[in-house]
Amino acid sequence: MIKDALYAVTHGQDLSYNLAKDTMNKIMSGDVAEVPMAGFLCALAAKGPTVDEVTAFAEVMREKAG
């Protein structure tokens, strides 16, 4: 899953809402090693996140917070 997301963002592709949500769930649960996570976050920042990606990430963070 993180591999799919990492591949997509490094190739300038936007993540679907579901893939963004699944990816953030993996990251927030601690299932992603630091190097792939850093690569994903750097590539996402370089690409520029979409509204759907940010929405999915925020929803996961809110779910995990409360």
Q: Please write the tens of the pLDDT for every residue from 18-55.
A: 999 999 999 999 999 999 999 999 999 999 999 999 99
Into which CATH architecture does domain 2-65 fall?
A: Up-down Bundle (1.20)
Q: Supply 40's token pair.
A: 């994903």
User: pTM of the prediction?
Assistant: 0.91
Q: Supply 61's token pair.
A: 């963070």
What are the domain boundaries of the chain? 2-65
CA distances from 48 to 38, 54, 61 (A): 15, 10, 19
Classify burial at 55, counting beta carbons within 10 Å of its beta carbon; exposed 0-12, middle 13-18, buried 19 or more.
middle
Number of neighbours of residue 23 by Cβ within 10 angstroms? 26
Output the pLDDT for position 21.
98
